[in-house]
Amino acid sequence: MFENLKAQPADKILALMQAYKEDPRDTKIDLGVGVYKNAEGVTPVMRAIKAAEKRLWEEETTKSYVALAGDPAFSDALIALVLGDAVERANVAAAATPGGTGAVRHAFEMARMANPDVRVFVSDPTWPNHLSILKFMGLPTISYRYFDNATGAVNFEGMLEDLSQAKKGDLVLLHGCCHNPSGANLNLTQWQAVVDLLLKTGATPMIDIAYQGFGDGLEDDAAGTRLVASSIPECLIAASCSKNFGVYRERTGLLMAVSQDASARKLNQGTLAYLNRQNFSFPPDHGARLVTMVLTDEDLRADWAAELEDVRKGMLDLREQLASELQRLSGSDRFGFIAQHRGMFSRLGCSPEQVETLRADHGIYMVGDSRLNIAGLNKTTVPILAKAIIDSGI
């Protein structure tokens, strides 16, 4: 039977990760997969997570099942982190999922259950796995203009023009902050314009928020998501804890469905639990429990927020360094957008051939669309990258 299988295309980001591992050059620089690394190239376990883990080991008395939608305390804590007091807790249905990707997949499933003809509007570009999952599910996608390679900024007019084609029953996928892969984000005035347009079209927003705290801070990074959740009758929000809590391999995410009233919430809650049961039954608990412990303990939370803030500022410093080094070498401001972008990624806007030259000639690994992971750099490698960019004619 299995001889009938067709080979599937490798995920570009994960294939790059593998190619980097296999490269014997000791000067190689990994700017590929979206994993935070400190100046020593290490992805640390955050201090508060480590402390929570120790406490959990001492206190946990059972590994029995928790609940289909995960521990309600995790939902409460993460809803509060993402949504603040933008909406009534009673109107939010939520289920823990294996990572943010699990939440994304469920959100698409839920939209299709509600409307078998759903069309999903996705930014051009978007995280490649959004497209891959949508293709796998056979859902029609419509891309809307988002990133302008020429300016390194959002093509906001184009975005609004394309989104005006959406209609009731469509899903519009937005990145809550730190847009992946471009690094270019909406300001709050632009979020408001998107909200107004969505209200006009009747389309349902879905927000993927995977980098809260990596851009302008925990509160600012959630501002657009909160605006959407408080202004539009219904929305879906897929949140990931992989990056901001550094619990990548624990697969810790939450899907939230925000509605207008408690009876809609009940239906949504049942649907989310059903989706968990059909796909994997109970969601992973370990990472969710650690995150809950950190968010509900004053000292752990303060320490986590401080460490996250250091991570964020470190990435901002690297952005500024890289932009100014490129300005010095190129004698122009054309790379100024790198300092304006937020989060882990920036898209350089160069060709796949130039990305390949950087890899082949300089051992610099970035995703083929010219997305670079800022956190893969340090003070020593910034000038090396800047020189390689200029030497490659970018």
- Name the residue nearer to ligand LMR (CB basis): 144 or 211: 211
Least distance in Å: CB of 100 to ligand LMR?
8
239 near 96, Cβ under 8 Å? no
Rg (CA), the chain: 21
How far apart (Å, rounded) are the C-alpha atoms in residues 230 and 224? 10
> Using CB under 6 A, which of 88, 115, 124, 129 touches ligand LMR?
129
**Is residue 215 within the footprint of ligand LMR (CB under 6 A)?**
no
Q: Which residues pair with 148 in a beta bridge?
A: 153
Least distance in Å: CB of 12 to ligand LMR?
9
3: amino acid identity, one letter: E
Closest residue by Cα to residue 165 from 193, 133, 143, 190: 143
Binding string, 55-74, against ligand LMR, x = CB under 6 A?
Answer: --------------------
**Is residue 146 within the footprint of ligand LMR (CB under 6 A)?**
no
**Is residue 268 within the footprint of ligand LMR (CB under 6 A)?**
no
How far apart (Å, rounded) are the C-alpha atoms in residues 270 and 122? 27
- Name the residue nearer to ligand LMR (CB basis): 248 or 337: 248
16 near 372, Cβ under 8 Å? no
**Is residue 13 within the footprint of ligand LMR (CB under 6 A)?**
yes
Q: Is 150 a catalytic residue?
A: no
Q: Residue 90 is inside which H or E element, if any?
A: none
Least distance in Å: CB of 327 to ligand LMR?
27
SS3 391: helix
- Name the residue nearer to ligand LMR (CB basis): 44 or 158: 44
**Catalytic, out of 111, 203, 210, 239:** 210
**Is residue 180 within the footprint of ligand LMR (CB under 6 A)?**
yes
Other Cβ atoms less than 10 A from the Cβ of 17: the count is: 15
Q: Is 208 a catalytic residue?
A: yes
Token pair of 310 as six digits:
């250091």
- Name the residue nearer to ligand LMR (CB basis): 156 or 211: 211
Q: Is 243 a catalytic residue?
A: yes
Residues in 271-300 at the binding interface with ligand LMR, rule: CB under 6 A: none
Least distance in Å: CB of 269 to ligand LMR?
27
Q: What is the DSSP-derived secondary structure letter of residue 65?
A: -
Q: Is 127 a catalytic residue?
A: yes
DSSP conformation letters of 117-173: T--EEEEES--HHHHHHHHHHT--EEEEE-EETTTTEE-HHHHHHHHTT--TT-EEE
Q: For ligand LMR, which residue has the nearest CB?
A: 34
Residues in 15-34 at the binding interface with ligand LMR, rule: CB under 6 A: 33-34
List the catalytic residues.
Answer: 127, 208, 210, 243
Q: Which residues bind ligand LMR (CB under 6 A)?
A: 13, 33-34, 127, 129, 180
